[in-house]
Amino acid sequence: MFFDGFATVVTDLVDGLGGVLAFFPPLVLTALLAALAYAARGWRLALFTFAGFALIDGMRLWRPAMDSLSLVAVSAVVALAVAVPIGLVVARYAAAKRVVRPVLDGVPSVPVFVYLVPAAFLFSIGTTPGVVATAVFALPAAVRLVESGLRDRPDPEEANRIVVPALGMVVTAGLVGAGGLGGVVLTGLDRVSAATGFEGAVAIVVLAVFLDRVTRVPARPVEARPVGNDDLHGERAA
């Protein structure tokens, strides 16, 4: 009963968000995403975003791309929901940190099918196992983000480490019927259609570059410390 209810909620969230994104005319949403890219990184990323999403629309992959975006977003939310209680425990108890941290560090090194097969067994074929496997893959970064926030030294870079690996699971999630661009790539492989697979891969690259650059926090420049009289005297003394 729990698994069926969870699968229904996750599927409704992904489908609902994908429907909202697809509701906007592609040109309008492309312009909004380009404006977001400009605010985050400047005109070069904005130009790439506009051209890239226009290309996705031209390849008739707009809806699969929006489905992939919604899957990534819901997976990130699920990962954060699980990460909050874990981060609370890890931030408070050193013993818990010593136990949990090695497990989380080992998550990315485990083949993704280790997460995908049990998820498909529990939730059947569809969107939910793809979301669950993607959320597990993004969980270590989510826990570190929560933990660093609780310690008053948040690391915004962890947001990038949540979203980008989640998008990297798109093709794998297509194996269990998650759809989106992963489904397009797998369709191309199944039909031995290089054009279909290539177009799906190009669309994934556009999404990956956009999400990576928008969620990546620029490095803060190191401010030069003014040289005072004490420093000058110290240099002379040396």
- Whether 78 maps to a domain, the answer reads yes
> Residue 219: helix, strand or coil by DSSP?
coil
Which range scores top for mean pLDDT: 19-23, 43-47, 129-133? 43-47
- Whether 95 maps to a domain, the answer reads yes
- Whether 230 maps to a domain, the answer reads no
The model's pTM is: 0.82
DSSP string of 122-166? HH-SSHHHHHHHHHHHHHHHHHHHHHHHHTT---THHHHHHHHHH
- Whether 234 maps to a domain, the answer reads no
Tokens 């990962």 label which residue? Answer: 79
- Does the pLDDT of residue 222 top 50, yes or no? no
- Whether 143 maps to a domain, the answer reads yes
Contact between residue 24 and residue 177 where contact means Cβ atoms under 8 Å apart: no
Which CATH number covers residue 86? 1.10.3720.10
User: pLDDT band for position 147 (50/70/90)?
Assistant: confident
- Whether 203 maps to a domain, the answer reads yes
Q: What letter represents residue 5's amino acid?
A: G
pLDDT (0 to 100) of residue 107: 82
- Whether 189 maps to a domain, the answer reads yes
Distance separating the N- and C-terminal Cα atoms of the chain? 75
pLDDT tens track for 72-116: 889 889 988 998 898 888 888 888 888 888 888 888 778 777 878
Q: How many structural domains are present in the chain?
A: 1
Structural domain boundaries enclosing 144 = 14-23+65-209
Measure the CA angle with vertex 124, ends 81 and 161; round to 5°: 35
pLDDT (0 to 100) of residue 39: 92
Q: Which of 81, 93, 64, 51 is nearest to 210 (CA)?
A: 51
Report which of residues 57 and 5 the model is more confident about: 57
Q: What letter represents residue 166's amino acid?
A: A
- Whether 195 maps to a domain, the answer reads yes
